[in-house]
Each structure stands twice: as C-alpha cells, then as structure tokens.
Amino acid sequence: MTTDAPAADAQLARWQRFRKNRNEALAADYGWLTLTSFQWLPASPAAVEPAPGLWSTDGSTAVLTAAAADGLTLVETGEAVDGTVSAVLADEESLLWVQFGGADGRRVRVELAMRAGRYAIRTRDSASPVFTGFDGVPTFDYRPDLVIEARFEPYPEPVDVPIGTANPLVDGVHPSVGELVFRLPGQAHECRLQAEEEKLGALTVTFHDETNGDTTDEWRKVSTARPRPDGSVILDFNRAINYPSAFTPYGTCPMPVKNNSLDYRIEAGEKAPFA
C-alpha cells in the first residue's frame, strides 16, 4: 500500500485553490483586464484620448485641468474636477486618480503612473470586452514532476540588472538577490534563474522557456516561499503565471534578465490567454 496518493491529492487541491484565487483576483473591478489605453503626458496642456480634460507635466508634477461639464470626479473623494488639480508620484508609483463615463460617472478610471521617469495615464474601463468576457486563464494540466526542489544561492549584495519591459519606451531594472539552482526532469545539467525578493523573503523568477510564442506568452513568472535555512526551496512551475502584458498591450511589465531562459518546454502553469 502506498501513501503517495493522498499527498498527491492534497498537492492538486492546493493548486486548484491557487487557480481559483488567481482567477478571482484577475476578475477584480478596475484590474489589469480593464486597461484600454496608455498615453504619455505632454509638456503643454493638451487633450489625451480617451480621457476628458487637458493634461500636462513639467517633469515633476502631473497636472489636469477640466470643467465640471467634462464629467471628471476624483476617485478618492467623488468630488467633481472643476479647475486644475495636480499630483506627484515617485518612479514606478501609480494612482487611480479620476473617473468618468457611464450612468454613474465611474465606468472609466484614469490611472496616473510614473514609468522610467515619465508621467503617463492609463484608462481602466469596466466595460472592456477583455474584462467582461473573462472566464479564467487557460492552463496546462497539473504536472507533479514540475514541482522542483531547488537551491537558493544568494548574492553577497543585490545586483540591479538592466532589463527591457513590455513597452519598448520603458526601461526597467531587475534587483537580483541571488539564483535558484535546480534540475528539470530528464536533464542532467543544472539550471540557474536569477530571482527577485518579494515580501517576507519570498522569491520571484521571471523566465523564458521553449513554449513561449507557441502555447504560452513571451515570458512568465513564478514565485516561491521564503527559502529554508539550508537554502532549499520548492519551485512549482504549475504556479507559473502571466504578467498583465499578456492580457493587454498597455502594460509595462518587466522582461526576464538575459540569462533567465530555459531550454525546456515548461508545459505547466498558465497558457497564453488568447491562444
């Protein structure tokens, strides 16, 4: 008699709960699936479609001028924008700033963002077909053989590695804190992926693999728990997920660092959403 089956069933059940939570998060109001535009702010006040009002920036401050007839209200307070308002963000910060449209005046929210030292706005439309038609991300079947025991080798100090992003006009930086070292099923050589540290010491790796552009998006990411005291950690590729840029052309999501490419078909985790 074997005890493997109950353990495998529990592992599968945990993954199914993970998938349920993931799909619910994507279906949240004004989430990534509602993005419908991305525009840089001009230096002089000008219209920026599709948002009402006149928008501009002097490089340090974003400025919006609108009349009450434009129908813009502040997301935080619901107060009408009638005159000029401004906001200041640090790089990589975002603010759901104003809203307009629809019967309640809140159909579209305008996100102010600072990316690569420049201000931009993105609209989040609750009537976006990508959002209203969403019924879950397609995934591969669960693969217990792609739940990998890995070893975390931390760097003496974090290393900022320049990277590209989903927007060719936005450069990014990957703060690499070390490498996850592991072997994939059927391969003799070790793989190494540079990792970024998240909250509570968890790790995230962004990677390419041989399924990209076929059954999966151009890159994906997978997160782990905090490594154990001996450096060991479980790398579960069944939990590989898409970045927002897989669902919308208006993301500025980070690409993998140069060496985070696997010569292997990781047929686990999320598939391309529109394949």
Cα atoms in the Cβ-side hemisphere of radius 13 Å centred on 222: 23
Measured over the CA atoms of residue 232, residue 259, residue 198 and residue 155, the dihedral's sign is: positive
Statement: the pTM of the whole predicted model exceeds 0.95: no
Q: What is the pLDDT of residues 108-143, one digit of tens each?
A: 999 999 999 999 999 999 999 999 999 999 999 999
Which amino acid makes up residue 131?
A: F
Strands (DSSP E) along 165-249, which ranges?
A: 172-182, 191-197, 203-207, 220-224, 232-236, 241-242
Would you state the pLDDT for residue 2? 46
Q: Please, are residues 126 and 29 in contact by the beta-carbon 8 Å criterion?
A: yes
Averaged pLDDT in 10-residue chunks for the chain of 275 residues? 66 96 97 96 97 97 98 97 98 97 97 96 97 97 97 98 95 96 96 96 98 98 97 98 96 96 98 88
Would you state the pLDDT for residue 272? 97
Q: d(Cα 236, Cα 98) in Å, to the nearest integer? A: 39
